Amino acid sequence: MNTDIRSLEPKSLWNHFADLNAVPRGSKKEAKVIQFMVDFGKKLGLETLVDPVQNVIIKKPATLGMENRKTVVLQSHLDMVHQKNNDTVFDFDKDGIKMYIDGDWVTADGTTLGADNGLGVAAIMSILESKDIPHPAIEALFTIDEETGMTGAKGLQAGYLSGEILLNLDTEDDEEIDIGCAGGIDVTALGSYLQEELLGNTKIMTLEVKGLNGGHSGMDIHRGLGNANKIMNRLLYESFDFEIKLVSILGGSLRNAIPRESKAVLAVPTEKLKAFENKIAIATLDIKKEFQTVDGGLQITLSESDVKVNKAMETHSFITLLKTLYTAHNGVYRMSPDIAGLVETSNNIAKVTVENGTIKIECLTRSAVETSKMDLANALRSAYELAGYEVNFAGSYPGWQPNPQSPILSLMTGLYNQLFKKDAQVVACHAGLECGILGQNYPKMDMISFGPTIQGAHSPDEKANIPSTQKFWKYLLDILKNIPTKS
């Protein structure tokens, strides 16, 4: 399956991508891929080091005649989002990604592909290995844990890099040059509840929401995609009159992925089961109709469970949970008043876990404006604290302020027009790129982000466009060839 990928052009890039995808590299589990990159750098005889937080830095001297050009930092992150379809048998801690070609796209068999940000890593590896690509001095920075905490970018200390220009290879539309991004903060609510004995004649049922597209909780948040946690809460709220009891909920898996699936175990009075089933059926038709354009694969199922239980959440706690989740904001909170079409502030209710007397609700709040980020975070805190839950803020990171007068931006827009006979779109994005964080310890570094076209990042539908990757590679090499001389 993966052998077909190795025949694609540019062969060096796709072969490095295939090698990389054979190495497990989930966020916070990067030990193997860190060693993989260290071995790669040392095999090439290049200066290779690992900083205190485990970022890998590989330095390559300029090619002949390029010694007087500005040093360029090429940067991508090593970790990838681990998502798979429920029916896919795959162990991310052991298995390599199974890729295949589908027309003009490379995709994976039931899992995330890792093109985010593996294609950027592979491109940098190809330049480090090359013997015939003209380039200035290169400092390759491979950060860790970008997807779940920006730990690598946050921990990179001043003094490790000397480059004046940073090219971040981590955006997902080849027509865009990114000069700004959103910051973020994790908002977590923790609660507890009493359990009561199940009395009377009840049926234990499993209610499932699945088949949603999911996607990137920043880049896709404006698309109106279904959030499995909000849909599940809606179903339970509308059905509460049937005296159902909640045993457990497990919804979502990652903070930065729009949740695709949620499962609730319920105790339903036997005499009300038929009416409950009818209510779910009617609600299913309504919800599927609402989402048919953007989430046509949505499935809502109610089936008898084989779980053996004798306790459930007491009624007052159940009502409080449902009302709290209904109140908590999900999706776009504010559009940018300065950049047309750009989401300024949003929230993703990413994970809801209710079981064994504990409640945990995990959100990722994003904004390009720090005060707006905290405004929404405090709105969520208020909703959760009114319910009696404990609320924690963690993992806050800044946005990246756009600089339309950036010298590297001027160079890159000109080169894009020359190469492709049209203008690039200069944008800011609602994702959490590392540039803003890296800029805190390297404030004089001129930064740009760009990359090949990738669709469905953070979901098992992720795919990378082959012609776009070729376009990206051509553009990257032209940029390196035209880096200006040192001041």
Q: Check residue 2 and give its pLDDT.
A: 73
Q: Check residue 1 and give its pLDDT.
A: 60
309 lies in the same domain as 457? no
Residue 79 a catalytic site member: yes
pLDDT in tens, 204-243: 999 999 999 999 999 899 999 999 999 999 999 988 889 9
Question: How much is the average pLDDT of 32-49?
Answer: 98
404 lies in the same domain as 389? no
Domains in the chain: how many in total? 2
The answer as to whether 486 is a domain residue is no
The answer as to whether 357 is a domain residue is yes
| pLDDT exceeds 90 at position 171 | yes
227 lies in the same domain as 360? yes
Phi–psi pair at 292, nearest 5 degrees: -60, -30
118 lies in the same domain as 247? no
Residue 277 a catalytic site member: no
Domain stops at, among 380, 397, 414: 397
341 lies in the same domain as 419? no
**Cα 283 to Cα 461: distance, rounded to the nearest angstrom:** 27
| pLDDT exceeds 70 at position 355 | yes
Does 307 or 138 have the greater pLDDT score?
138
213 lies in the same domain as 105? no
| pLDDT exceeds 90 at position 339 | no
Question: How much is the average pLDDT of 173-196?
Answer: 96
383 lies in the same domain as 453? no
Share of the chain above pLDDT 70, in %: 100
Active-site position among 79, 170, 220, 434: 79
238 lies in the same domain as 204? yes
Question: How much is the average pLDDT of 50-67?
Answer: 98
**Cα 250 to Cα 262: distance, rounded to the nearest angstrom:** 6
Question: How much is the average pLDDT of 411-416?
Answer: 98
The answer as to whether 175 is a domain residue is yes
Confidence of residue 401 (pLDDT cuts 50, 70, 90): confident
**CATH code of residue 472:** 3.40.630.10
Q: Check residue 135 and give its pLDDT.
A: 98
Domain stops at, among 348, 369, 397: 397
pLDDT in tens, 239-259: 888 999 999 999 998 888 999
320 lies in the same domain as 207? yes
Question: How much is the average pLDDT of 112-121?
Answer: 97
14 lies in the same domain as 140? yes
- Tell me if the pTM is above 0.75: yes
107 lies in the same domain as 15? yes
Domain that holds residue 101: 5-181+399-481
147 lies in the same domain as 233? no
| pLDDT exceeds 90 at position 164 | yes
Domain stops at, among 374, 397, 420: 397
The answer as to whether 487 is a domain residue is no
Active-site position among 146, 147, 362, 462: 146
Confidence of residue 438 (pLDDT cuts 50, 70, 90): very high
Confidence of residue 125 (pLDDT cuts 50, 70, 90): very high
